Amino acid sequence: MTLKGIIERQNRILEIVVSSYVDTAMPVGSRLVSKALGLSSATIRNIMSDLEEMGYITHPHTSAGRIPTDKGYRRYVESLMHVKEINSKEARKIEEEYKSQRRNIEDVIKKSADILAGITQHTGVVLFPKFKKPAFKRIELVSVGKKRVLVVLVTATGIVKNFIMDTRYDLGEEMALIGNLLNSDFYGLTLEEIKNKLIGQLKKARDSSYHIIKETSEIIESMLGVSTEDELYLGGTSFLLAQPEFEDTNSAKLLLQVFENKYVLSRLMEEDISFEGIKVYIGKENKCRGIQNCSLVTSGYKVKDEVVGRLGIIGPTRMEYSHLIPLVHYIAETMTRTLNELVE
């Protein structure tokens, strides 16, 4: 047999092993593959042994059957799987879900993760738009106590974020001066650019304006320091915990730690914040230890033609990639369209 023929057989057997294991979560034996391909069990065993030596499949110590490795899934995703189109029933359900949720941008963003979770039965995850990048449009400051201020930030893309910050003393009438300074002088700049411009102004200020600029700078610094955990939303966490991979107490404990402390997962998704397309992290490709027996599939979403965040799912490595990858992409596109309708 030619080298090309050998590679084709290896690919076909790996494809069957992946597909069967995804469906059943059970190791795949040579007899099943033999029936599927019409080849002898001996031939199948030899090829499976070669695939194991190359690191694409392995076998649990309790079974003679094989399961895919992270490397095997990667080969499958990149060159073997046949992408499935979104069926009309799924598309209709997604559209109906979005039509019922159009109150504000934050609701749409969270709803997108919930929609993904409900349809895929995996955990939906969404990274909210980052504040350092989107351009500043408007800020509102509202006193909620003598030394507490509600800060409402609106970006040029229509994203709204509010949080409460503590001040060193009661700002009183100075709040209006700070708001006027930001709203009149810094429209269209990013928060980082505003911060740098204020630092430059502080160096030059010698009169009473120094105090106002200093307080304004501290408010911007507080915005930039908003916890990244608040920027990540998870939907359907119970779906992932229900998978057989998490029957082991230690695996479930590590996963729960990821869900409770979202910092590492936020950082992982943030690495691709400006990339519009699909990203797939399989098993130990994930830097986040608690999901190293999972896969993370994400896609960028946009507001006004700018990629501002990421949406995706976390599921076991044996997830149905051929169906879920296009589904994540479709929902990200629908989310983008819905968000743009809200900010127009």
Domain range 88-128+231-343, CATH class: alpha beta
Residue in this structure with the two tokens 């914040």, named with its chain if needed:
273
Summarize pLDDT for 22-59 with one digit per residue, the tens.
998 899 999 999 999 999 989 999 999 999 999 999 98
Beta bridge pairs of residue 138: 154
Taking alpha carbons only, the member of 12, 5, 19, 36 closest to residue 319 is 19
Taking alpha carbons only, the member of 102, 28, 132, 111 closest to residue 72 is 28
User: Dihedral angle at the C-alpha atoms of 225, 228, 231, 234, nearest 10 degrees?
Assistant: -160
Domain range 3-80, CATH class: mainly alpha
Per-residue pLDDT band for 167 (boundaries 50, 70, 90) equals: confident
Across the range 301-309, mean pLDDT stands at 85
Which range is least confidently modeled, 33-37, 71-75, 262-266? 262-266
> Which position has the higher pLDDT, 210 or 112?
112
Per-residue pLDDT band for 183 (boundaries 50, 70, 90) equals: confident
Per-residue pLDDT band for 151 (boundaries 50, 70, 90) equals: confident
Task: Quote the mean pLDDT of the chain.
Answer: 84
In the chain, what are the domain boundaries?
3-80, 88-128+231-343, 136-224
Q: What CATH code would you report for 136-224?
A: 3.30.390.60
Taking alpha carbons only, the member of 212, 156, 216 closest to residue 182 is 216
pLDDT at 85 over 80: yes
Position 162 scores a pLDDT of 67
Which range is least confidently modeled, 20-24, 88-92, 244-248, 275-279? 244-248
Summarize pLDDT for 10-25 with one digit per residue, the tens.
999 999 999 999 998 8
Per-residue pLDDT band for 177 (boundaries 50, 70, 90) equals: confident
